[in-house]
Structure 1
Amino acid sequence: MSLFQAIAAVAVTFVAYYALIYLVVVVFMGQGRRGIYK
């Protein structure tokens, strides 16, 4: 069970990091030039 918990924690952290980076990129691209990155 400890192993499963560790894997779950790592997966959640990875997803959160990826979502955060994706959000920042989308916000920056959206504010800069919306026409190009549609």
Structure 2
Amino acid sequence: METIEQTLDLCRWLYNSMLEQRKQRCFIPLNYKSKP
């Protein structure tokens, strides 16, 4: 049984992971260029 706090934590985690994915997407071209 989930509490409201757990649900909020999950929402925060999902939101944060979305932001991280966006950042990684921005950096991916740079990583590709640096690879030989």
TM over 0.5: yes
| Aligned residues with identical type, % of pairs | 3
What is the TM-score when the length of structure 2 is the normalising length? 0.72
- Residue 4 of structure 2 corresponds to residue 2 of structure 1: yes
- Tell me the amino acid that sits aligned with residue 6 of structure 2: F
Give the ranges of 4+ consecutive aligned residues of structure 1 lying more than 4 Å apart after TM superposition: none
The residue correspondences of 1:1-38 to structure 2 (distance < 5 A) are: 1-27=3-29, 29=30, 30=32, 34=33, 37-38=34-35
Number of matched pairs? 32
Structure 2 segments unaligned to the other structure (5+ residues)? none
Q: RMSD across aligned C-alpha pairs, in angstroms? A: 1.1
What is the TM-score when the length of structure 1 is the normalising length? 0.69
Structure 1 segments unaligned to the other structure (5+ residues)? none
